[in-house]
Copies of this chain bind each other. A is one copy, B any other.
Amino acid sequence: MRVDGQPRRTLWPAATLDALFVIDQRQLPHRLAIESLASVEAVFVAIRDMWVRGAPLIGATAAYGLALQANVDASDDALRGAAMQLSSARPTAVNLAWALQRMLRRLLPLPSALRADAAWREAAALADEDVATNQAIGRHGLQLLSALQPRRDGVLNVLTHCNAGWLATVDWGTALAPVYQAQAAGWKLHVWVDETRPRNQGASLTAWELAQQGVPHTLVVDNAGGHLMQRGQVDAVIVGCDRVAANGDVCNKIGTYLKALAARDNGVPFYVAMPLSTLDINLHDGLRDMPIEERSAREVTHIGGRAANGDWVEVQLAPDGCAAANPAFDVTPAALVSALITERGVIAARPDDIAALAAATP
């Protein structure tokens, strides 16, 4: 996608294959900070501290982390140790583990001397495949959207939660890929952007990337979506996901479930863009068994932003000593999901359909 009019991906290797460049997304929307990561430890920190976030981008970043490891010590133990460390950086995103497993499967059968070269190529292949995956999700999602009748003004209104756009992936995004393809096809459309407390990925990332691509959008607080749906101002909800269970339950950013409830109550379709890498076929009952990351209370009690003088300042919102809970994800039951948009087509969020797709996936 475009940044300041130039095409860019969200991560790319140094030409010398000794570092990975990423955007420190914590500094958006106020500053585009491109950082060089030159060690497994640096990649671990970038994932743990959410310089990069979004399940597909986390996976690609971790893959390059193993390539960095292979540069310095490509032994079985070293690669497995690095994979263990990287996989612990974020507990919920299933394709962090998926990307690391794929890298290990590719590398461990090779002689040590060939592993570094293979690792950089495999990470690049994984990144390229993510781009192709998202383009395919975009095409399939566009077909779904084209069946909808805009409720007002001939403008298709899409609501999204969190950031499942370009910035959450290597390119294109998952939930936003259909939006970008609709834009490219010349549709009139408009996106309602949930700010997505507590980390405000909607306000700081989704709003920023939509502005960069020139897609009309309006920021709202997370509380507003139900009201907008009641008033007929939303034609479809599209969100990404961090993990989908075999029964179709969807784990995504905290608050997604509330939007799914409102969508059902108002007859608005609720679509989940699901790259197959986020499917966890071994997790049978999402609502019961999905692990939910509990993050720092400080993300709730404090918030950072740009002060009038241009400085980034963190301010306290809650009383001194106030206790806060911060579950980072919730689970939307499959019954509330109108369809899953995968790179291999649109399916129902039902165990049979999911199992069939998984069985047909190489």
On A, residues with C-beta under 8 Å from B are 29-30, 192, 195-198, 200, 203-204, 207-208, 211, 217-228, 230, 253-255, 257-259, 261-262, 265, 287, 292, 300-308, 313-327, 329-331
Given contacts A218-B325, A221-B300, contact A226 B319 (CB under 8 A): no
Taken together as a complex, chains A and B put the C-alpha atoms of A200 and B222 apart, in Å, by 12
Q: Which residue of B lies closest to A309 (CB)?
A: B313
Instruction: Please state the number of chain copies in the assembly.
Output: 2
Point out the residues of chain B lying under 8 angstroms from A324, CB to CB: 218-220
Q: Are B221 and A221 in contact (CB under 8 A)?
A: no
Point out the residues of chain B lying under 8 angstroms from A203, CB to CB: 300-301, 317-318, 322
Given contacts A204-B317, A316-B305, A317-B203, contact A254 B198 (CB under 8 A): no
Given contacts A262-B257, A287-B230, A324-B218, contact A305 B302 (CB under 8 A): yes
Q: Are B196 and A300 in contact (CB under 8 A)?
A: no
Taken together as a complex, chains A and B put the C-alpha atoms of A304 and B326 apart, in Å, by 21
Known: A211-B321, A219-B324. 19 other contacts (CB 8 A): A192-B325, A195-B318, A197-B223, A204-B319, A207-B322, A219-B300, A219-B323, A220-B300, A221-B326, A224-B254, A226-B255, A226-B330, A228-B325, A230-B330, A258-B261, A261-B261, A303-B317, A307-B314, A315-B315
Given contacts A221-B254, A223-B254, contact A322 B211 (CB under 8 A): yes
Point out the residues of chain B lying under 8 angstroms from A287, CB to CB: 230
Q: Which residue of B lies closest to A204 (CB)?
A: B317
Q: Which residue of B lies closest to A297 (CB)?
A: B219
Point out the residues of chain B lying under 8 angstroms from A218, CB to CB: 323-325
Q: Which residue of B lies closest to A197 (CB)?
A: B221
Point out the residues of chain B lying under 8 angstroms from A292, CB to CB: 227
